[in-house]
Amino acid sequence: MRLDIITVLPEMIEGFFNCSILKRAQNKGIVEISIHNLRDYTTDRYRKVDDYPFGGCAGMVMKIEPIDRCISALKAERSYDEVIFTTPDGEQFTQKTANALSLCNNLIILCGHFKGIDYRIREHLITKEISIGDYVLTGGELAAAAIADAVIRVIPGVISDEQSALSDSFQDNLLAPPVYTRPADYKGWKVPDVLLSGHEAKIRDWEFQQSLERTQRLRPDLLVDSINDNILHDGK
């Protein structure tokens, strides 16, 4: 996969992609990540990429010209499956979205900033708008990093133990079960006996029951979503 990230603050996320799993994914040649400074695509002598909004409302708006130039330059080199814009009013980012995007070959992520972007960009250049939550950040860089991390880690070969990613929370609309490691008894706080039994079937059943209980208690909305998905699937 190739991932191109367009931002006015490349220094904010460059370090994020140069460590741990994401760095190893690039070293293995599984993922290619390129960060583009939007200011390199403006003709403004002061490298400005924003201007006052029409209508007199507060804040500054990212201009259409440098964004169009950057995206056009990238598209001249290759085709893209999605051009993503990080925005609070986009569709909610979920594990299901991450799984779907992990199957793509080439992605662009445009990081929002200031008051937002000229809406014509969203109408004509963006193919997918994503929000990581119902709150507003200073810029879309953190959202882009979160999206990239969630997408890349489920690409085959990125994590050495692929079953680890497949058993994460949300993969099956359930929260993950509790996990424990050594020592089995610490200050009288003991690991559940079933995990020490070596009985795989009982362990898997315990994990499922724990996942179900935690989901019902902490995120019952996930179970509702799962039921609705099954109804839609059965209705096809």
Q: Which two tokens stand for residue 222?
A: 């996930």
Express each pLDDT in 209-221 by its tens digit.
999 999 999 999 9
The correct answer on CATH 1.10.1270.20 for the domain covering 167-234 is yes
User: Quick check: 203 pLDDT over 70?
Assistant: yes
Residue that the structure tokens 């050495």 belong to: 160
Residue that the structure tokens 């996969």 belong to: 1
In this prediction, residue 232 has a pLDDT band, given cuts at 50, 70 and 90, of very low
CB burial class (10 A; 0-12, 13-18, 19+) of residue 189? exposed
In this prediction, residue 173 has a pLDDT band, given cuts at 50, 70 and 90, of confident
Q: Which one is predicted more confidently, 160 or 73?
A: 73
Express each pLDDT in 179-197 by its tens digit.
999 999 999 999 999 999 9
Express each pLDDT in 32-77 by its tens digit.
999 999 999 999 999 999 999 998 888 899 999 999 999 999 999 9
Beta pairing, strands 128-131 & 50-51: unpaired
What pLDDT is recorded for position 167?
A: 52
Contact 152, 22 (CB under 8 A): yes
Pick the CATH number of 2-152 from 3.40.1280.10, 3.40.50.970, 2.60.40.420, 3.30.565.10: 3.40.1280.10
Q: Where are the alpha helices (DSSP H) in 91-140?
A: 95-101, 119-124
CB burial class (10 A; 0-12, 13-18, 19+) of residue 233? exposed
Mean pLDDT to the nearest integer, 103-119: 94
Residue that the structure tokens 């490349």 belong to: 10
Per-domain residue ranges of the chain: 2-152, 167-234
In this prediction, residue 123 has a pLDDT band, given cuts at 50, 70 and 90, of very high
How many residues are given for the chain? Answer: 236
Q: Is 207 helix (H, G, I), strand (E, B) or coil?
A: helix
Beta pairing, strands 106-111 & 82-92: parallel
